[in-house]
Amino acid sequence: MSGYCGWRKSNNAVIAEYNERYPITKASKVLAKKLNWSQVKARQFLENQGTGEYHHTSKYYNETLYYDVSDEELESIKDDIKDFIYIPKVKK
């Protein structure tokens, strides 16, 4: 469904969030809670895993990456989750 929900995000972005697909900040919080991980570990996993979609947000039509953290998606990638090794970034 094309169009915009006010000035905040596209209607497609609203639908995506209804289906548990979120921008990285929200997705990492949700994933961390579901898997009992830290948000930093969850974010690294999502960044490594990639995303399948983007949506327009803000009145400037920014392209924002959305990550699927639905239970169905997590079930389909459970082996990737199990095999994921968190490597902390070293501060310089």
| pLDDT value, residue 11 | 79
> By the 8 A CB rule, do 82 and 61 touch?
no
pLDDT tens for the chain, residues 1 to 92: 566 655 567 777 888 889 999 999 999 999 999 999 999 999 999 999 877 788 777 666 778 889 999 999 999 999 999 999 999 888 87
Question: At 8, phi and psi to the nearest 5?
Answer: -85, -50
81 forms beta bridges with none
| pLDDT value, residue 70 | 94
Domain boundaries, the chain: 4-83
How far apart are alpha carbons 69 and 78 in whole angstroms?
12
**Integer-rounded Cα radius of gyration of the chain:** 14
Which pTM does this prediction carry? 0.83
